[in-house]
Chain A
Amino acid sequence: MLFFGLLMIITGCYCLIRTYHMLKIIIGIEIGMKAVTMFLVLAGYVNGHMGLAQAYVITVIVLEVVITLVAAGVTIGLYKKYGDMDIRNLTKLKG
């Protein structure tokens, strides 16, 4: 599970580095956070503290949704301003 989780983090980082599309970047963040969630469950399973691990996992899931919501809002704002979802447009912003 550790091996697969690390590969998932590599996949998420690759997506963050190589793509220009804002929604794909959110997908990359989501993949990385899924790996972290899996590590938390694995840690709870190994230690025997599954209740504590589940409390952490639910916190991570809530934060994941909030991050996705805010990032989707920023993406829509970017689309309304420039007509596409290219992150290279973010460098044109002022203020």
Chain B
Amino acid sequence: MEVIIYVSLVFLLIFCVMAVMSHSILKSAVYLALASVMLGVIMYVLGAHWAAVFEISVCSGLVTVIFISAISLSKIKHDEIQKLYEHKKRSAYLPAVLIIGGVLIAAAAMAADFTLPEAAAAISEEFRETLWNTRQADILGQIIAILAGGMAVVVLFQNDEVKK
């Protein structure tokens, strides 16, 4: 079980770094979707089955579709994108930053003698009961956020012709 988690974690970080360093936005969106799949695998192995299904279907599917639809609406050529945003130059230092950050985090954890506590025995709480009975405010918040997002999309994505 631990092997799957560690392999997925390594791939998750690699896909995140590739999403940032990739010169093509389309490739970045695909790498982000792959990172979501890896996160879904980690969630499933840890026992968060519902969250894993949501992560893979929504973050890996829906968000990628949103990205690709936004990319398809723009008509900038690849060479022009390089000139405009200087991706190559500006993302080149990420591996160095990650190595320095990793060393600093590891040094801080060793200095503080930090270890993750052992996993407690799983408390038998049904996810559906928790969501519907205990976290009702969250559901209300989600509904409001979805309505606000829907209204924002209608306003922002509407055509200029419709406005006229």
- Which A residues form the contact surface with B (CB < 8 A)? 1-4, 6-8, 10-12, 14-15, 18-21, 23-24, 26-28, 30-31, 34, 37-38, 41-42, 44-59, 61-66, 68-70, 72-77, 79-80, 84-86
Contact = CB atoms under 8 A, between A and B. Distances in A.
Contact of A54 (B48, B69, B116): B48
B79 interface: no
A44 to B, nearest CB: 7
B119 to A, nearest CB: 6
Interface string B75-94: 01000010011110011011
Nearest first, the 9 closest Cβ-Cβ pairs linking A and B are A73-B156, A66-B149, A51-B125, A48-B120, A51-B130, A57-B51, A72-B70, A54-B51, A10-B101
A30 B127 CA distance: 25
Interface of B: 5, 9-10, 12-13, 16-17, 19-20, 25, 28-29, 32, 35-36, 39, 42-43, 46-48, 50-51, 54-55, 58-59, 62-63, 66-67, 69-71, 73-74, 76, 81, 84-87, 90-91, 93-94, 97-98, 101-102, 105-106, 109, 116-123, 125-127, 129-131, 134-135, 138, 141-142, 145-146, 148-149, 152-153, 155-157, 160
Nearest to B142: A62
Contacts of B157: 73, 76
A92 B23 CA distance: 26
Of A23, A54, A59, A79, most B-chain CB atoms within 10 Å: A54
